[in-house]
Structure 1
Amino acid sequence: MPSLTAVCRVHALLDDSGSVGVTAIDKRPVDGPVEVKRLGVRGDVQASRAHHGGPDKAVYAYADSDAEHFAGILGYEVTPGLFGENLRVDGLDVTGAVIGERWAVGETLVLQVTMPRTPCATFARRLGESGWVKRFQAEGRPGAYLSIVKAGPIRAGDPIEVVSRPAHGVTIGDVFAGLEPEQASKLLASPAPRLSEIVHGLAEKALTRAAVGA
């Protein structure tokens, strides 16, 4: 059964050459149970609220298998939290998660998959890797943001169960790669759950491009 490898939150704000001046990307595992509420893991922060955090990006999940893939590329271990994730998960295909599917974690917490992570310059500076944004994009393993459906405590080792999955079938990987018109139509026609503003906008743009090119 899928499970939580680690729960991570900000360890310290780091100086950063970006416009904000600091970054909260330095996430590290915490011991014991941690509350997760509407805006994320208790004690976690985001330095740039314009691009990170909020109800639709309450937590960021990354798969052990994807971290191992990048470890092979980078030549060193991708430890939990290194990519800025809050949840490191085992046995779950995060890239294949359907937009809107729900995960029950531990005894109480319920999460909803909202959108893929978009790599940014802060992420590249964190790793110190040349051309990192394009390299990360090319591998197609972005991880997923999730909103909070039901708050609750979690800890490393907790089981994860996919409890519902929308019929449209459009995945994190599909959105990250760029939506096809048919996928965009399915997303917009889906009665529930509500799409994030970002994914809704991407779907509308995909249909507009298709109409202009027709």
Structure 2
Amino acid sequence: MPHLVAVCVVHQLHADAGTVGTTAIDKRPVEGAVKVGPYGAYADVQADRKHHGGLDQALYAYAAEDAAFWAAELGRDLPPGAFGENLRTEGIDVNAARIGEVWRIGEAVEVQVTAPRRPCATFARWMGPDVERGWVKRFGAQGRVGPYLRVLRTGVIAAGDPIVVVSRPAGAPTVLEVFRG
């Protein structure tokens, strides 16, 4: 059954060479239950609010299967949060999710798929100098980008919680189709 491997929030802010000057991409797993509100996981922040966060990008989900692919490609461990994700999932193809699709996570939280992640230079720098050059293009070319989510119903979630697809709009494009569109 699809489930959460981890819920991640910002560990610390880091200086960044980008225009904002700081990044909140350093996400780490949280022990126990985490409150989820309209703007995402409790205690999480976004440094660049022009391009991240808000109601339509309250949470970012990334699949354990995609992280395992990149771990093999890069020859290093990529634990939950390594991609700046809030939710590390397992057993659900997040890139095949349809825009508008609704998931229930745990007993109460409901989220809606809104858009694919668009990799950026901050993400490339975060991945490190060994992969930074060409990373944005390489990451996108693999189609393992993951979706942003809007919170429809608040509550609490924790690692191990099931993920159930509540509704899937017929004919809506997938995360990958929109990304490649």
Match for residue 108 of structure 1?
108
Match for residue 152 of structure 1?
155
Match for residue 42 of structure 1?
42
One-letter amino acid of the counterpart of residue 40, structure 1: G
Listed as ranges, the gaps of 5+ residues in structure 2 are none
Match for residue 54 of structure 1?
54
One-letter amino acid of the counterpart of residue 88, structure 1: R
Match for residue 166 of structure 2?
163
SS of 1:153's equivalent in the other structure is strand
The CA distance in 2 between the partners of 1:50 and 1:157, in whole Å, is: 32
One-letter amino acid of the counterpart of residue 143, structure 2: G
Match for residue 127 of structure 1?
127
One-letter amino acid of the counterpart of residue 14, structure 2: L
Contact 2:14/2:22 (8 A) holds in 1:
yes
SS of 2:67's equivalent in the other structure is helix
User: Which structure has the higher relative contact order (CA within 8 Å, separation 6+)?
Assistant: 2
SS of 1:51's equivalent in the other structure is coil
Question: How much does 1:38 deviate?
Answer: 0.3
Superposed CA deviations along residues 166-198 of structure 1, whole A, max 9, x for unmatched, are 0114100100111xxxxxxxxxxxxxxxxxxxx
Match for residue 72 of structure 1?
72
Match for residue 23 of structure 2?
23
**Residues paired across the two proteins, number:** 178
The CA distance in 1 between the partners of 2:172 and 2:115, in whole Å, is: 14
Contact 2:2/2:162 (8 A) holds in 1:
yes
Q: Runs (4+) of structure 1 moved beyond 3 Å?
A: none
Match for residue 172 of structure 1?
175
One-letter amino acid of the counterpart of residue 139, structure 1: Q
Q: When the two structures are superposed, what TM-score results if normalisation uses the length of structure 2?
A: 0.97
Q: 1:11 and 2:11 equivalent?
A: yes
Structure holding more strand per residue: 2
SS of 1:8's equivalent in the other structure is strand
Question: How much does 1:32 deviate?
Answer: 0.7
Over aligned residues, Cα RMSD in angstroms? 0.6
Listed as ranges, the gaps of 5+ residues in structure 1 are 179-214
